[in-house]
Structure 1
Amino acid sequence: MATKTVNEKITDSVTQVNTKALGDVPAMAMGNLYSAMGLALSNASLNAASSQQQAGITIQAATVQGVNSLGAIGSAVLGRAAEGIVEKD
């Protein structure tokens, strides 16, 4: 019978370490997946907030232009009315 060249305790220890390493891989993969998903969702939220801010600025600028147009129309009407009064004299 051949003599044992490797101690059984050593082979058992190596087997247990390999089993633990293989058992940890799915948990680490899921952790990485959750981390990437969290980053993607936070970027999406940031982009949505930024878009809303930019839309608010655009809406405010359009409102100011509309009010300025209304003011210009009112001035033109007043100018025409004043011109009519001046020409009557």
Structure 2
Amino acid sequence: MADVVNPQITDAVTQTNVKVVAEAPSQAMGNLYQVASHASGLSIQNAVHSQQAMNQLTTAVVSKACQLIMDIAE
């Protein structure tokens, strides 16, 4: 025969389980938003880095072009 458990204990366990199950969808959406925000941030950082690298290349190309023009003038 099963032992009788205090109804307050079973109620506390039931309420805890219901609370966890009820909060799961909102926590999942929170995690999804966090991951999406992080991915967007990384994408923007990557775009900025690429733009800075292109600016450095442009500066080098312009400097070399100016040097070649000056060499032609001599």
State the TM-score, normalizing by the size of structure 1.
0.71
Correspondence 1:75-86 to 2 at 5 A: 75=74
Query: What is the aligned length?
Result: 73
Task: Indicate yes or no: 2:13 matched with 1:14.
Answer: yes
**Residue pairs, 1:22-41, within 5 angstroms:** 22-41=21-40
Deviations 1:11-58 (A, max 9, x none): 222222111111111111111111111111111111111111110110
1:66 corresponds in structure 2 to: 65
Q: Please tell me the root mean square deviation across aligned C-alpha atoms, in Å.
A: 1.8
1:6 is paired with a residue whose SS is coil
What is the alpha-carbon distance in structure 2 between the residues aligned to residue 13 and residue 53 of structure 1? 58
- Structure 2's unaligned 5+ residue stretches are none
Check if 1:43 corresponds to 2:36: no
Where do 4+ consecutive residues of structure 1 move more than 2 Å? 6-13
Amino acid at match of 1:48: A
Q: Percent identity?
A: 34
Q: Distance in 2 between matches of 1:63 and 1:22?
A: 62
